[in-house]
């Protein structure tokens, strides 16, 4: 009896703790937005973070996008062949990428490549008292360190997702048209007529923008809230990658269920 | 002591999670002086420093800096006040992604509209004062512990503060670096007309450079005096601390059950 009471109590503690942390993260987001002025007034601060988060993620995004496109091309061709509609390969590849794979896979890659490094950097700055030093110099660390990294991620994410999709389409074209021999004109014209800009492309952009906000917030929050020790920072980095992945997939479901009503 | 008091602390209390860290501290620090706050590890001296800088809000009592009450200031007012404060952290806390030059220039760039030429001159002057003008292009990772501490000192005084706080400025330094930092603290304090508060447990170095010493134990001031008074003190606490003795009022052992109880357990009572 006593044991079950104690395990219920433990469960309660864990739940309350999680909810409390969620509330803290929400307040943190408000603080980041409130102190975002310098990120826009002093553009070099944010541009530097766009470079570190966005430009340095280019290689992984380009290579992964290309491979995902190559695989989509192969799998798509095999399936479409059964129904004799291989000329629809272009539209299949483009829709898969712009609606789902582009935003989701790019965000997952972005969380592990850029999100983890932002968490590590802020966590280590905290562990070595650099944030405290800034605060005592009357420089707000949220305005000077956190906000530029947040906005750097928010700006980079949709651009990286767009690039991922473009590389994927290129990969699908390489496999389908160049190697297998699907008709070039059919590949592009089917894509052009089958992909709606507002319905497919724009919704994908909105998704990647939302993922960018989620991943960037998780990365800066986990870094800022990390326990300032070697172990604490390493745990924070793990939490960034795990929480980001879950957030991306959960948000993807929510957004998809609102956006795509099914075609009649 | 003179009447011109810069830092006035009255009956300061601070508790963390219900555990008292500071329990009724009273201090008056005159303008222009160098004051040391000493005590064993975990006695609350760093907490005291953070209450003076407004990074922690006391649970009772008052901290007054000049004619302003630090303990009741808003965030914006505190930031205004901190522009007149400098702080040297235990391990320097230099920004690792910036060069030595940019570290010292940081407070100038954040808080002034000076031209880059003017900033360059000021930074090189501050670095010259700590003997590291030649190291301005290095990254913090390329500096020794003592050099990093001196760069951090140059950064702390970049805006010519009225109050400089030092958190364990001597920790982990070799004897030469230790002497250099000690002399710099005194020299810079006098040259800038500043006031310095130093939290340390290095007795001998401090006795050479400070004007007044407070000993803190378990959140209270247990002894105070000028270096000469401290050297001649018969107070058991001061004696134990100055002569680094194991036996005395400060316990070396962490509280534990008696040895008999620990090793023999219930058999001891059987």
Q: Which residue has the higher pLDDT, B219 or B35?
A: B35
Distance from CA of A125 to the nearest CA of B (A): 8
Nearest to B89 among A124, A133, A140 (CB): A133
**What pLDDT, in 10s, does the model give residues B109-118?**
999 999 999 9
Full-model pTM: 0.86
Is the Cβ pair B110, A137 closer than 8 Å?
A: yes
For residue A214, the distance in angstroms to the closest alpha carbon of chain B comes to 26
pLDDT grade, residue B119 (50/70/90)? very high
Minimal Cα distance from B152: which residue of A?
A133
* Residue B17 DSSP SS3: coil
Which pLDDT value is given to residue B1? 44
Instruction: Please tell me which residue of chain B has the smallest CA distance to A138.
Output: B79
Strand order in the sheet with B5-16: B19-30, B5-16, B60-65, B68-69
**Do residues A142 and A35 make contact, with C-beta atoms less than 8 angstroms apart?**
yes
> What is the pLDDT at residue B40?
76
Tell me the sheet residues that pair with B28. Answer: B8
Whether residue A251 has pLDDT greater than 70: yes
Q: Nearest-CA neighbor of A178 among A69, A96, A105?
A: A69
Q: Look at the block and give the residue holding tokens 């803290």.
A: A24
Q: Is the pLDDT of residue A1 over 80?
A: no
Prediction ipTM score: 0.82
How many other β-carbons are positioned within 10 Å of the β-carbon of residue B15?
14
The interface residues of chain A toward chain B in range 62-101, judged by CB-CB distance below 8 A, are: none
Residues in chain A within 8 Å Cβ distance of B110: 137-139, 144
CA angle, B170 then B172 then B177, to 5°: 60
Decide: helix, strand or coil at residue B12: strand
Residue B16 in tokens: 């963390």
Yes or no, beta carbons of B93 and A133 under 8 Å apart = yes
Q: CB A138 to CB B83 under 8 A?
A: yes
Which chain A residues are within 8 Å of B106, Cβ to Cβ? 137, 139
Percentage of the residues of chain B whose pLDDT score is greater than 70: 94
């Amino acid at each position: 009896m006593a044991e079950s009471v104690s395990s219920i109590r433990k469960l309660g503690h864990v739940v309350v703790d999680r909810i409390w942390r969620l509330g803290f993260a929400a307040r943190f987001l408000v603080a980041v937005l409130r102190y975002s002025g310098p990120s826009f007034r002093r553009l070099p601060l944010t541009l530097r973070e766009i470079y570190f988060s966005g430009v340095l993620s280019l290689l992984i995004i380009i290579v992964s996008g290309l491979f995902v496109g190559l695989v989509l091309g192969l799998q798509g061709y095999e399936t479409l062949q059964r129904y004799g509609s291989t000329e629809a390969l272009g539209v299949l590849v483009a829709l898969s990428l712009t609606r789902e794979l582009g935003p989701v896979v790019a965000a997952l890659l972005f969380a592990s490549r850029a999100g983890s490094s932002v968490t590590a950097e802020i966590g280590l700055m905290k562990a070595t008292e650099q944030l405290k030093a800034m605060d005592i110099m009357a420089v707000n660390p949220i305005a000077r360190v956190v906000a530029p990294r947040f906005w750097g991620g928010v700006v980079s994410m949709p651009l990286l997702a767009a690039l991922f999709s473009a590389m994927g389409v290129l990969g699908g074209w390489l496999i389908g048209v160049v190697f297998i021999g699907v008709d070039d004109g059919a590949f592009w014209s089917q894509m052009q007529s089958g992909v709606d800009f507002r319905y497919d492309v724009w919704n994908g952009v909105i998704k990647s923008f939302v993922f960018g906000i989620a991943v960037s917030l998780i990365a800066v929050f986990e870094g800022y809230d990390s326990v300032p020790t070697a172990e604490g920072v390493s745990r924070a980095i793990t939490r960034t990658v795990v929480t980001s992945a879950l957030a991306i997939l959960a948000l993807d479901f929510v957004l998809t269920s609102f956006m795509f009503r099914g075609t009649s | 002591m003179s009447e011109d008091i810069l830092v006035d602390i009255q009956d300061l209390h601070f508790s963390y999670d219900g555990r008292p860290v500071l329990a009724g501290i009273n201090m008056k620090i005159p303008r222009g002086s160098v004051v040391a706050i000493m005590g064993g590890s975990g006695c609350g001296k760093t907490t005291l420093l953070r209450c003076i800088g407004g990074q922690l809000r006391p649970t009772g009592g008052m901290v007054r800096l000049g004619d302003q009450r630090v303990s009741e200031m808003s965030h914006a007012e505190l930031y205004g006040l901190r522009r007149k404060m400098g702080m040297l952290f235990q391990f320097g806390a230099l920004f690792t992604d910036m060069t030595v030059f940019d570290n010292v220039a940081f407070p100038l760039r954040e808080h002034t509209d000076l031209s880059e030429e003017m900033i360059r001159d000021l930074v090189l002057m501050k670095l010259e004062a700590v003997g590291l003008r030649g190291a301005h292009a290095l990254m913090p990772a390329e500096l020794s512990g003592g050099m990093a501490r001196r760069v951090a000192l140059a950064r702390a005084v970049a805006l010519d503060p009225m109050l400089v706080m030092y958190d364990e400025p001597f920790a982990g330094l070799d004897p030469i670096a230790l002497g250099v930092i000690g002399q710099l603290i005194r020299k810079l304090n006098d040259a800038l007309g500043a006031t310095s508060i130093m939290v340390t447990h290095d007795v001998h170095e401090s006795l050479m450079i400070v004007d007044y010493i407070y000993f803190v134990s378990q959140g209270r001031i247990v002894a105070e005096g000028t270096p000469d008074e401290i050297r001649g003190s018969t107070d058991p606490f001061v004696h134990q601390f100055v002569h680094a003795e194991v036996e005395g009022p400060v316990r070396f052992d962490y509280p534990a059950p008696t040895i008999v109880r620990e090793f023999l357990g219930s058999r001891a009572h059987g």
